[in-house]
């Protein structure tokens, strides 16, 4: 044994170590840290000791110590590396802990205690593994003054050093690092007798799990491992033997080394404490110790898929979590705890695809199939077909297109057709392009007879499958797309669905299939305005009669429904016994129904006008169901009307109903004004004096209730009323109206339809575009507003801002409403400093307007 050691900064130190030598060592030492999980921490409450870096210690005593322990380092492929030198004085201690794995391959720690002249009392070393295995070493007393003691234990063993009550303790700590070593049960003669039993039991289990949806078994191991050290070559002690026994079955089992994870979430919410547990498998490692990066974490059943022994029947993870994370909220807290244990995960080779289906998402399995196809292309087809069969029982269908892409790429026709047969309708909705790729690969006739014809026989079709026809058309397969769409249109159930018919109509319009479009118009119970506009824009005047027939048909069908409803009892046990009551009920239904119908037609007329179909809009507005309606009967008894009703009355072009239009309720004023502006060309707004005066009155009322609405401000400027424009100019110059300012786009603005307005007022290009359609009066009004905004940014006031007749008391009330004028002034000065770019933007806008 060594009689001295050399330490940089302390010199040659004789053993046993003297008190002076101890002080020299302490002078070059630092406070010792400790390991927690995969972290290294510093806390004297946990550990009180001094350490000297290994790089400062010179000695040649590792080999004798290893030999003393009976370890043949060369035969076992071990490296013995000095980690640190430790010094303990009175009060020194180390609570229970596990050593951090300092480097790849480290599997154990060796402690070599050296003698000191003072010796020490206390300082017992206790080592434990699991709940029951524990051993204590006491190297104190007189022996510590002359003796050398060595101890070795695996990294995952918990150990502690009891408090040193007197004297000094000196020791060297070594890391035992394993080089690569095969796991072979034949090298463990003591366990050879278990081979036959293990293989027999695993074969029996294999037969039992065949045909199940999740043929997986996890076999927990006994030692602790970090993510980096988890490998077959790095298994410790008894774990190596367990792995060797399981690997003896690799002719009929797939074997992986993984990390089992238990995650518990304990919520401590007010008046309620609950705990949930989740189990998963991570860190997949193959037999050759290659990490399977394309394998992801997967869940498993602790009850049915994990081997447990009698001493640990319910849980192989132990009681102490590896990590705790606590979150706090308003109503309490919840703590998430993580437990880890290594395990061998196996499944029968014959059930490989079922196991992969149960443990891995499809993208991961496709990556696995890609790798396999490179090395064993002959196996891929069979594995793929078995995998598709296994997926048939899966609830998750988000994978279909990934698998179909793989089949097309490698020309697995049968598997591709099998996928389309099982999930084709959903693929047509969510991955139509992949379905089209299959048609391009194998031809329409083959795909239709092999798959699509059968899909069309299924009853649970949704309108989204029209996407398949649309993608066929977009990829140059219009005839195939039309064929598919016509097959759908021939089905009675499809013809009863407005959603289906609307989607098909859009497709036939795009393809120019006039007859199919007319058929849909003749049978559809209802259609969105946008679909009807597409028809008009596609076929122009040719479509007018068809559109009119559609609305006539709709009204006729509504009349039938009203009459049928009038025949029904009023409710309870009463029934309609007299014709008079039936007629009264029918009249009420007809009045409300006609109002609703006319609103729909009016909205469609305005949509046509907005989409540039003025002639069609005018033609429809003059039809019987718009012109020959008895408005007095429908609207005469109402105290107020909605914005859509106002539009209907105006399209009737009869000024005697202008007073009825004025009854529009305050909530609908803004919408009424905006719709009237859209339809201005249909009833002479800005040309007909009476209509314009009516519009002006409604706009004035709307501005009272919506004084900061930018859309209404735009309408007022477009209308060109001098008084309204001047009012807006004053408010913009004073900063009261935030026109022409860039603001963050709020979700609410989108919900209430103000996106168009914000684009108009905050974007020069949009303002220029819209003002091109305005007359000179409207453009002049816009210029005044822009100049007012420039004045606001520059801080310039105008005599026009002050009304000479303004009541003095009103002025005082306005001043009182300003809670803090100083704060307002500071905000104004800040905005003024950043307004240079805004002024330049507005001046450019004025120049562009002058060029129109």
H, E, C per residue of 190-244? HHHHHHHHHHHHHHHHHHHHCCCCCCCEEEECCCCCCCCCCCCCCCCHHHHHHHH
Q: What φ, ψ does residue 101 adopt, rounded to 5°?
A: -75, 110
Look at domain 4-178 and name its CATH class.
mainly beta
For the chain, the straight-line distance linking the first and the last C-alpha, in angstroms and rounded, comes to 102
Are 339 and 318 in contact, with CB atoms under 8 Å apart? yes
pLDDT band of residue 708 (cuts 50, 70, 90) is confident
At 310-367, the pLDDT tens digits run: 655 556 777 777 787 776 655 556 678 878 889 999 999 999 999 998 888 888 999 9
- Residue 851 reports pLDDT greater than 50: yes
Q: How far is the C-alpha of 294 from the C-alpha of 281, rounded, in Å?
A: 14
Element (H, E) at 273: strand 272-285
φ and ψ of 81, to 5 deg: -125, 125
Whose CA is closest to 646, among 624, 686, 678?
678
Edge-to-edge order in the sheet of strand 149-154: 30-31, 50-53, 78-88, 169-178, 106-114, 149-154
In tens, the pLDDT along 251-280 reads: 999 999 999 988 888 776 555 566 677 888
Spatial neighbors of 383 by CB under 8 A, at least 6 apart, are: 352, 353, 369, 372
Q: What is the mean pLDDT of residues 87-113?
A: 85
- The pLDDT tens digits for 538-550 are 999 999 999 999 9
The pair phi, psi for residue 814, each rounded to 5°, is -65, -40
| Sign of the alpha-carbon torsion through 396, 398, 404, 410 | negative
Tokens read off for 648: 């209907």
Main-chain phi, psi angles of 807, to 5 degrees? -65, 135
pLDDT tens digits, one per residue of 576-618: 457 788 888 888 898 888 889 988 998 999 999 989 899 998 8
Provide the CB-side half-sphere exposure for 396 (13 A, CA).
11
Give me the pLDDT at residue 249, please. 92
Q: pLDDT of 203-225, one tens digit each?
A: 999 999 988 888 999 999 988 88
Residue 506: predicted pLDDT: 96
pLDDT, residue 524, reads 93
Confidence of residue 553 (pLDDT cuts 50, 70, 90): very high
pLDDT digits (tens, 9 = 90+) for 440-490: 999 999 999 999 999 999 988 899 999 999 999 999 999 999 999 999 999
pLDDT confidence band for 399 (50 / 70 / 90): low
More confident residue, 827 or 665: 665
Please state the rounded mean pLDDT for residues 800-817: 48
pLDDT band at 745 (very low <50, low <70, confident <90, very high): very low
Q: Give the pLDDT score at 97.
A: 84
pLDDT at 829 over 70: no
Specify the pTM.
0.66
Q: Are 205 and 128 in contact (CB under 8 A)?
A: no
């Amino acid at each position: 044994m060594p009689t001295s050691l050399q330490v940089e900064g302390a010199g040659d130190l004789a053993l046993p170590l003297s008190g002076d030598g101890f002080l020299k060592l302490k002078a070059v030492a630092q406070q010792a840290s400790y390991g927690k999980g995969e972290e290294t921490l510093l806390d004297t409450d946990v550990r009180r000791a001094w350490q000297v870096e290994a790089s400062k210690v010179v000695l040649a005593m590792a080999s004798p110590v290893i030999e003393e322990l009976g370890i043949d380092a060369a035969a076992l492929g071990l490296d013995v590396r000095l980690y640190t030198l430790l010094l303990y004085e009175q009060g020194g201690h180390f609570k229970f802990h596990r050593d951090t794995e300092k480097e790849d391959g480290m599997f154990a720690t060796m402690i070599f205690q050296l003698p000191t002249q003072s010796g020490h009392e206390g300082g017992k070393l206790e080592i434990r593994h699991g709940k029951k295995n524990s051993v204590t070493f006491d190297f104190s007393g007189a022996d510590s003054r002359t003796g050398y003691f060595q101890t070795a234990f695996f990294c995952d063993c918990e150990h502690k050093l009891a408090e040193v009550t007197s004297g000094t303790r000196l020791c060297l700590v070594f890391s035992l690092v394993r080089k690569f070593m095969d796991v072979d049960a034949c090298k463990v003669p003591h366990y050879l007798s278990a081979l036959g039993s293990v293989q027999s039991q695993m074969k029996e289990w294999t037969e039992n799990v065949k045909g199940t949806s999740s043929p997986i078994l996890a076999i927990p191991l006994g030692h602790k491992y970090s993510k980096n050290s988890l490998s077959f070559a790095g298994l410790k002690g008894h774990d190596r033997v367990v792995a060797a026994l399981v690997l003896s079955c690799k002719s009929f089992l797939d074997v992986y080394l993984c990390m089992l994870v238990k995650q518990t979430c304990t919520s401590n919410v007010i008046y309620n404490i609950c705990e949930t547990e989740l189990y998963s498998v991570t860190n997949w490692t193959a037999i050759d110790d290659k990490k399977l990066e394309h394998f992801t974490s997967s869940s498993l059943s602790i009850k049915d898929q994990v081997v447990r022994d009698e001493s640990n029947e319910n849980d192989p993870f132990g009681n102490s979590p590896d990590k705790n994370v606590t979150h706090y909220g308003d109503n309490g807290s919840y703590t998430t705890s993580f437990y880890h244990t290594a395990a061998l995960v196996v499944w029968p080779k014959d059930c490989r695809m079922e196991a992969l289906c149960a443990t891995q998402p499809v993208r991961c399995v496709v990556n696995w199939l890609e790798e396999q196809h490179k090395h064993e292309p002959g196996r891929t087809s069979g594995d793929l077909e078995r995998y598709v069969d296994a997926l048939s029982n899966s609830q998750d269908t988000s994978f279909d297109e990934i698998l179909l892409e793989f089949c097309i790429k490698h020309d697995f026709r049968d598997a591709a057709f099998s996928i389309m047969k099982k999930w084709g309708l959903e693929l047509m909705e969510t991955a139509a392009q992949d379905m089209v790729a299959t048609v391009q690969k194998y031809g329409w006739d083959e795909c239709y007879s092999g798959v699509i014809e059968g899909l069309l026989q299924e009853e649970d079709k949704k309108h989204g499958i029209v996407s398949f026809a649309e993608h066929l058309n977009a990829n140059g397969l219009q005839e195939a797309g039309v064929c598919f769409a016509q097959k759908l249109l021939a089905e009675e159930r499809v013809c009863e669905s407005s959603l289906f018919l609307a989607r098909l109509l859009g497709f036939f319009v795009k393809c120019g299939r006039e007859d199919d479009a007319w058929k849909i118009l003749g049978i559809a119970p209802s259609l969105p305005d946008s679909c009807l506009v597409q028809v008009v824009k596609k076929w122009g005047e040719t479509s007018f009669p068809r559109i009119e027939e559609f609305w006539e048909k709709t009204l006729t069908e509504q009349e039938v429904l009203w009459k049928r409803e009038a025949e029904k009892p009023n409710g309870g046990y009463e029934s309609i016994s007299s014709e008079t009551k039936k007629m009264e009920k029918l009249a009420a239904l007809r009045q409300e129904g006609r109002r609703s119908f006319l609103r729909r037609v009016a909205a469609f007329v305005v949509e046509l006008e907005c989409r540039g179909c003025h002639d069609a809009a005018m033609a429809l507005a003059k039809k019987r169901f718009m012109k020959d309606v008895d408005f007095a009967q429908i609207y005469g008894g109402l105290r107020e009307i909605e914005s859509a009703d106002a539009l209907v009355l105006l399209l009737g072009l009869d000024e005697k109903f202008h007073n009825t239009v004025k009854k529009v309720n305050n909530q609908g004023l803004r919408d009424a004004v905006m719709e009237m502006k859209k339809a201005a060309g249909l009833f002479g707004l800005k040309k007909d004096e009476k209509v314009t005066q009516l519009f002006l009155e409604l706009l004035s009322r709307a501005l009272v209730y919506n004084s900061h609405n930018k859309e209404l401000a735009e309408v007022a400027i477009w209308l060109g009323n001098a008084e309204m424009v001047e009012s807006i100019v004053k408010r913009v110059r004073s900063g009261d109206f935030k026109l022409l300012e860039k603001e963050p786009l709020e979700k609410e603005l989108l919900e209430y339809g103000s996106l168009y307005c914000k684009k108009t007022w905050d974007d020069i290009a949009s303002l220029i575009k819209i003002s091109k359609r305005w007359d000179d009066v409207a453009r002049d009004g816009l210029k005044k507003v822009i100049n007012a905004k420039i004045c606001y940014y520059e801080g310039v006031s105008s005599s026009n801002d002050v009304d000479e007749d303004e009541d003095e008391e009103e002025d005082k009330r306005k001043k009182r409403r300003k809670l803090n004028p100083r704060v307002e002034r500071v905000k104004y000065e800040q905005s003024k400093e950043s307004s240079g770019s805004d002024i330049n933007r507005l001046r450019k806008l004025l120049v562009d307007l002058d060029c129109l």
